[in-house]
Amino acid sequence: MQGTRYGDMTRFFLSAFYHLSETHFFYNMTSLLWKGIQLETSVGSVEFASMIAALLGLSQGITLLLSKGLLLFGNETAYYDQYAVGFSGVLFGMKIVLNAWSDDYVFLHGMVIPAKYAAWAELLLIQAFIPGTSFIGHLGGTLAGLSYLWLKRSYSGPDPLALLISGIANVVSWPVKFAQRLLRSGRRQGSRVGRRASRETDQGMWRCSACTYDNSSSADICEMCNSTREDPAFPQRQHLQAGGDSALSVDEIRRRRLQRFDR
């Protein structure tokens, strides 16, 4: 009895992740990629993950209810003993959500139909032209999409699944965010030190307009060419040499520069 219950639970939760062949898996994953990009872009990653989890549970539960409900019609075959595998149920639910408010038209197997009815048309066409498909599984996914939209419209509070997924994501990503904050703070401190040192260097020097020599801020006469500092923030004082003006010739400036650098 316990083994049977365990098998039923495993079948309920994991049957959507089993596929019959590589072609079946490839088709479903391609469809998931196409629909997932559009939905995740429009609602965000957390809301998208919550949608997938809700559609998975709803599609599996509705499929099980439909299978057991058909027994009331006296069918000899127990539908709940048949296997419905693959991610198609969730994909049908995603198609319902994606096209719920769309006014566009889609081209489906040679027919042009409104996008909001594309999931229903595909449900009938797949059943008619692809043998061995699970009509109950696909119908369960379609009804799951409608149920999800109804729940979203009727419930105005925060999505509990989205809150749960967001909390789990925060816990899992906390070490990475902590390391990123440490790296950012280290870079900011380094840049502040560099800017402070550069500012102090700039404030502690002034460049002579005549010979481009960088002088100390405490001096208002160029140490290289003896020119007066041309800065309105400092009082200009004429520095007269013995026997002449403060202006120097080009040769004298060159001689003093070479002498200063020992050349």
Q: Tell me: the pLDDT tens digits for 83-105?
A: 667 888 999 999 999 998 888 88
In the structure, what pLDDT confidence band is assigned to residue 201 with cuts at 50, 70 and 90? very low
| Total structural domains within the chain | 2
Q: Do residues 96 and 142 touch, judged by C-beta distance below 8 A?
A: yes
For residues 163 and 50, state if they share a domain.
yes
- Indicate whether 131 pLDDT > 50: yes
In the structure, what pLDDT confidence band is assigned to residue 256 with cuts at 50, 70 and 90? low
- Whole-number pLDDT of residue 115: 86
**Residue 187 falls inside a structural domain:** no
- Indicate whether 210 pLDDT > 90: no
Of 118, 148, 171, the one marking the end of a domain is: 171
88 belongs to the catalytic site: yes
For residues 220 and 159, state if they share a domain.
no
For residues 7 and 124, state if they share a domain.
yes
Catalytic residue among 59, 67, 138, 227: 138
The whole model's pTM is what?
Answer: 0.59
- Indicate whether 6 pLDDT > 80: no
**Residue 71 falls inside a structural domain:** yes
Calpha distance 130→132 (Å, rounded) = 7
138 belongs to the catalytic site: yes
- Whole-number pLDDT of residue 249: 65
Return the residue matching tokens 């993950």.
49
**Residue 127 falls inside a structural domain:** yes
For residues 77 and 145, state if they share a domain.
yes
Catalytic residue among 50, 59, 88, 134: 88
Q: How far is CA 127 from the centre of its chain?
A: 38
Report the half-sphere exposure of 188 (CA within 13 A, side-chain side).
Answer: 6
**Residue 107 falls inside a structural domain:** yes
Of 171, 186, 220, the one marking the end of a domain is: 171
In the structure, what pLDDT confidence band is assigned to residue 40 with cuts at 50, 70 and 90? very high
The most confident of the ranges 14-23, 46-55, 179-188 is: 46-55
In the structure, what pLDDT confidence band is assigned to residue 180 with cuts at 50, 70 and 90? confident
CATH number of the domain that residue 66 is part of: 1.20.1540.10
- Indicate whether 250 pLDDT > 70: no
**Residue 217 falls inside a structural domain:** yes
**Residue 195 falls inside a structural domain:** no
For residues 32 and 143, state if they share a domain.
yes
**Residue 239 falls inside a structural domain:** yes
For residues 142 and 222, state if they share a domain.
no
Of 121, 146, 171, the one marking the end of a domain is: 171
Calpha distance 113→102 (Å, rounded) = 12
- Whole-number pLDDT of residue 143: 93
Segments forming the whole domain that contains residue 223? 206-263
Angle, CA 240 vertex, CA 236 and CA 246 arms, to 5° = 80
- Indicate whether 55 pLDDT > 90: yes
- Whole-number pLDDT of residue 162: 81
Is the four-CA dihedral 86, 89, 90, 91 of positive or negative sign?
positive
User: What separation in angstroms does the CA of 118 have from each of 67, 134, 148?
Assistant: 24, 18, 17
For residues 137 and 77, state if they share a domain.
yes
For residues 93 and 149, state if they share a domain.
yes
In the structure, what pLDDT confidence band is assigned to residue 200 with cuts at 50, 70 and 90? very low
